[in-house]
């Protein structure tokens, strides 16, 4: 009987390397887990990402720009209360947001809004400012997104979005009203997380809400939150245009929260009446929104944020136009739904249809 030849044990060259790789990845996972807890690893990721983007996009720049959110108007405190570190600023860490004092007063909120409204009205609608805007994105339907450089802060320009919206002024106003944010905002903004209202105020016919909006993580960048006053203003006397706005504020009522970077945005929206569409007979209006936004917290007491603002400047045209078109689509869908409901409610009332026309009941 022939004996079997001895089996030769083959050495798999990949086996020890695979084991080493598994051990190495396990050690790295443990280190990252500890770093996340002990050394604020998300901030490290943000810094690395912003540095990487700065290298790719900003040729010749040596550091990442953040927005000091300075303005031509006085951004000093209008309140008398001491609200801690957020009230102070230095030349290297400018103050942002309107300081309204520890004791929130309706008059202080109204003053903050009026200052922003005056500045933005001049920039958005006055004929002398028209030539200063640079259109960076346009659409065949006439919608435009434009930029206006800030004289002291080119990394945070003014942005203007203009579009003819389907529906009446009230239709668009109610769509953007804060009471409808829980329904409409997630459909418009994928990063929207939530809203908390801290108080409602009224002064001189202006209705205001002090609130905090939170945003989900921006890819590699951390969550953001905004402390602001939302304003519903009365129509302008000269042309009947409605006006609303949001003004960033600094107050102990809404302190910085752990896990969020305090971002800032001032905006004013103008709702102007137009004649009905000549081809469809449906109502329409012109919406103009002017804003400045800073996704970093670079004022005293803040911890940065590391979003390279020049990336925002380069992409705001595309993202702004996408927002406008998405808004138009959602408002049009809502209007069609309401018209269908109205027609269904009076299908049997033939006399009302004859008197009011085919599209009205």
Share of residues in the chain with pLDDT > 70 (%) = 66
pLDDT, tens digit, 9 for 90 and up, residues 96-108 = 688 887 789 999 9
Mean pLDDT (the chain) is: 76
- pLDDT at site 140: 96
- pLDDT at site 125: 74
From the CB of residue 255, how many other CB atoms can be counted at a distance below 10 Å?
Answer: 14
Separation CA 138–CA 141 (nearest Å): 8
Answer whether 169's CB lies under 8 Å from 242's CB.
yes
Separation CA 137–CA 162 (nearest Å): 11
Separation CA 107–CA 119 (nearest Å): 19
In this structure, what is the dihedral angle of CA atoms 76, 78, 83, 89, given to the nearest 10 degrees? 0
- pLDDT at site 53: 39
Separation CA 301–CA 219 (nearest Å): 25
pTM over 0.75: no
pLDDT, tens digit, 9 for 90 and up, residues 17-64 = 677 777 667 665 655 554 444 444 444 444 444 433 343 333 344 444
Nearest by Cα to 176 from 321, 13, 39, 288: 288
Average pLDDT over residues 155-179: 92
Share of residues in the chain with pLDDT > 90 (%) = 38
Separation CA 119–CA 113 (nearest Å): 10
**In the structure encoding, which two tokens stand for residue 348, read together?**
């049997």
Nearest by Cα to 155 from 61, 260, 52: 61
Answer whether 289's CB lies under 8 Å from 171's CB.
no
- pLDDT at site 356: 56
Instruction: Using DSSP bridges, classify how beta strands 242-250 and 260-273 pair: parallel, antiparallel or unpaired.
Output: antiparallel
Average pLDDT over residues 317-328: 92
DSSP conformational letter for 75: -
Answer whether 140's CB lies under 8 Å from 300's CB.
no
pLDDT, tens digit, 9 for 90 and up, residues 213-238 = 999 987 778 899 999 999 998 787 77
**Distances from the Cα of 246 to the Cαs of 162, 172, 228, 266, 296, in angstroms?**
17, 16, 6, 6, 18
| Domain ranges for the chain | 84-326
Instruction: Using DSSP bridges, classify how beta strands 134-138 and 144-148 pair: parallel, antiparallel or unpaired.
Output: antiparallel
Q: Which fold has domain 84-326?
A: Alpha-D-Glucose-1,6-Bisphosphate; Chain A, domain 4 (3.30.530)
Least trusted range by pLDDT, from 150-154, 157-161, 194-198: 150-154
DSSP conformational letter for 213: E
Answer whether 74's CB lies under 8 Å from 249's CB.
no
């Amino acid at each position: 009987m022939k004996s079997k030849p001895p089996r030769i044990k083959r050495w798999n060259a990949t086996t020890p390397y695979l084991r080493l790789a598994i051990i190495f990845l396990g050690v790295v996972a443990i280190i990252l887990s500890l770093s996340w807890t002990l050394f604020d690893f998300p901030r490290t990721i943000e810094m690395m990402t912003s540095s990487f983007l700065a290298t790719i996009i900003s040729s010749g720049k040596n550091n990442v720009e953040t927005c000091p959110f300075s303005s031509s108007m006085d951004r000093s405190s209008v309140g008398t209360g001491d609200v801690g570190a957020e009230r102070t600023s230095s030349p290297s860490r400018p103050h942002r947001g309107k300081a309204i004092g520890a004791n929130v007063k309706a008059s202080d909120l109204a003053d903050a809004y009026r200052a922003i409204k005056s500045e933005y009205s001049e920039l958005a609608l006055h004929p002398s400012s028209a030539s200063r805007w640079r259109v960076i994105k346009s659409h065949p339907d006439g919608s435009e997104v434009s930029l206006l450089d800030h004289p002291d802060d080119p990394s945070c320009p003014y942005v203007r979005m203009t579009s003819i919206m389907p529906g009446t002024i009230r239709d668009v106003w109610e769509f953007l009203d804060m009471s409808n944010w829980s329904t409409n905002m997630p459909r418009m903004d994928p990063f929207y997380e939530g809203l908390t209202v801290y108080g409602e105020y009224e002064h001189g016919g202006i209705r205001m809400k002090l609130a905090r909006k939170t945003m989900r993580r921006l890819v590699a960048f951390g969550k953001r939150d905004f402390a602001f006053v939302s304003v519903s203003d009365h129509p302008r006397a000269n042309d009947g245009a409605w006006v609303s706005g949001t003004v960033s504020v600094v107050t102990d009522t809404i302190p910085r929260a752990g896990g969020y970077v305090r971002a800032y945005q001032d905006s004013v929206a103008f709702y102007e009446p137009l004649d009905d569409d000549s081809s469809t007979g449906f109502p329409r209006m012109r919406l103009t929104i002017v804003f400045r936004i800073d996704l970093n917290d670079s004022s005293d007491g803040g911890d940065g944020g590391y979003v390279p603002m020049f990336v925002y400047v380069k992409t705001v045209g595309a993202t702004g136009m996408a927002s406008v078109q998405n808004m138009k689509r959602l408002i049009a869908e809502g209007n069609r739904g309401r018209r269908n409901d109205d027609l269904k409610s009076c299908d049997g009332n033939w006399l009302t249809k004859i008197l009011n026309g085919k599209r009205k009941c």
